Amino acid sequence: MSSERPQSESGRRDLLLQALEKLLELQGAELRPTMDSAAQLLVELLHADKVDVFFLEPETQTLVARGISDTPMSRRQKRLGLDRLQLANRGRTVEVFETGRSWHTGHQDEDPEELPGIKFGLGVRSAIGAVIEVGGERRGVLECSSEKPEFFSKDDLRFLEAVARWVGVVAHRIELVEQLTKAATERGRRLAAEELITVFAHDVGSHLFSLRARIDLIRRRAVRQRAVDDIRDAEAAAVSVVALTRITSDLLDVGRLEQGLFSLNPRPLDVMLLVEDVATTATAPGREVRFRGPEELVLVADPDRLRQALSNLVANAQKHSPSGLPVTVEVESRTRTDGTWAVLAVVDQGAGVAPDVLPRLFERFTRGPKSSGLGLGLYLARQIALAHGGTLEVHSSPGKGARFELSLPMSPSETDT
């Protein structure tokens, strides 16, 4: 660099403080331009030949210069590819990162542990480096270099350590802003999509009502005319309409949940009668649904919503069970420290829930790799359980099927004996 370093130590300290104020004035909206500005300020302040702000790239285990000064040595560094330092290749910058200890040398060209490209390709003689921590985690290195020997002082290193702490704070702030912006964008997209889906489901539901009525008229006419093929086709179409109606109903329920309009109409009911009805309705050739439990188990719940939740669980179990193997609904009452609970367990003998899907299984639109549908059944089942003050949990391991336990609290009047 052409400018001279100040001779007075007091004047030098004043200049360092002024520079720190300038560094603190950087707004820090995006990481790279902010770090580039910091590197340029430091290179001018310390009259260095190069300043780098390295951050770890975890996927490649490489220190990448996210901030670089605009100097001849910096430009030569980029041409040589030395703005990316793999941890496996070692070197003093990597050592600072891995140990967390600052680095100061006036004869880097004599250091046998330094990379040849740094010593001979760039001609670095003096260097200081300090670790960068972001959110309490070691994330990078701030480094200044010069082609002159014995160029940096201990005061320079202490100042660099202070700047490195500031760099970590700014980087953390930038990351938080990026995360909040991303979350807000995703939430906005999700809300817009949900609103569109709700409107679509409402409109489709209206058309399905008319379609169902038409199909019923066709079926009746076919019965009168004894047109066997038309009767079969009409009944098959009616089944498809019922399936579409269920899908639109689920979509509308998601909208009601988001708008806080999801309500319950609880009343005393015998869970075993409801389970028997759901099992009988869901049983089909090769898709048997068995059930077992006490002769009677009464609790207060919304029968329609409980039927919806149980039907969703059974349909999910049938979807993932091999043909010919039954799905079982087990009902029991359990006494716990917080009272007596009715537990409805839906058990299948399928492949189990994939480990990567398990943590988000009950989220909206979550589907396994081989699943069809919209991925709303389990989400709605859990929301129905929560609305009753209950829970829905899954126990599963690969290759051993899945067990979904829907637990609902029983009122004292129904559990006292």
In DSSP notation, 35-67 reads HHHHHHHHHHHHT-SEEEEEEEETTTTEEEEEE
User: Of 144, 163, 161, which is closest to residue 152 (Cα–Cα)?
Assistant: 144
Q: Which amino acid is at 156?
A: D
Check whether residue 293 and residue 362 sit in a common domain: yes
Helix H or strand E encompassing 335: strand 327-336
Domain count, the chain: 3
Check whether residue 278 and residue 311 sit in a common domain: yes
Instruction: Report pTM.
Output: 0.49
Q: Does the residue 217 lie in any domain?
A: yes
Residue 327 pLDDT: 94
Q: Which of 137, 153, 180 is the last residue of a domain?
A: 180
Tell me the torsion sign for CA atoms 27, 31, 36, 42.
positive
Q: Does the residue 3 lie in any domain?
A: no
Check whether residue 229 and residue 275 sit in a common domain: no
Check whether residue 158 and residue 196 sit in a common domain: no
Residue 2 pLDDT: 39
Check whether residue 142 and residue 285 sit in a common domain: no
Rounded Cα–Cα distance for residues 319 and 372 (Å): 9
Q: Does the residue 1 lie in any domain?
A: no
Please state whether beta strands 62-68 and 298-301 pair in parallel, antiparallel, or not at all (unpaired). Answer: unpaired
150-161 pLDDT, tens per residue? 999 888 888 888
Is residue 369 over pLDDT 60?
no
Residues spanned by the domain of 292: 267-415
Task: Compute the residue count for the chain.
Answer: 417
Which residue did the predictor score with more confidence, 12 or 247? 247
User: Of 387, 329, 388, 393, which is closest to residue 361 (Cα–Cα)?
Assistant: 393
- Return the DSSP state at 402: E
5-52 pLDDT, tens per residue? 544 556 556 666 666 677 666 655 678 888 888 888 888 888 899 999
Q: Which of 180, 206, 233 is the last residue of a domain?
A: 180
Q: Does the residue 410 lie in any domain?
A: yes
Check whether residue 357 and residue 221 sit in a common domain: no
Q: Which of 180, 214, 241 is the last residue of a domain?
A: 180
| Contact by Cβ (8 Å): 89, 115 | yes
| Contact by Cβ (8 Å): 404, 359 | no
Q: Does the residue 228 lie in any domain?
A: yes
51-76 pLDDT, tens per residue? 999 999 999 999 999 999 999 999 99
Check whether residue 226 and residue 252 sit in a common domain: yes
Check whether residue 106 and residue 51 sit in a common domain: yes
The CATH number of residue 153's host domain is: 3.30.450.40
Check whether residue 196 and residue 329 sit in a common domain: no
188-207 pLDDT, tens per residue? 766 665 666 666 666 676 67
Q: Percent of the chain, pLDDT > 90?
A: 38
The end-to-end CA distance of the chain, in Å, is 91
Residue 70 pLDDT: 92
User: Of 206, 207, 174, 224, which is closest to residue 34 (Cα–Cα)?
Assistant: 174
Is residue 249 over pLDDT 90?
no
Q: Does the residue 348 lie in any domain?
A: yes
Rounded Cα–Cα distance for residues 349 and 347 (Å): 7
Neighbours of 186 (CB within 10 A): 10
* 113-120 average pLDDT score: 91
Q: Is 265 helix (H, G, I), strand (E, B) or coil?
A: coil
Q: Does the residue 139 lie in any domain?
A: yes
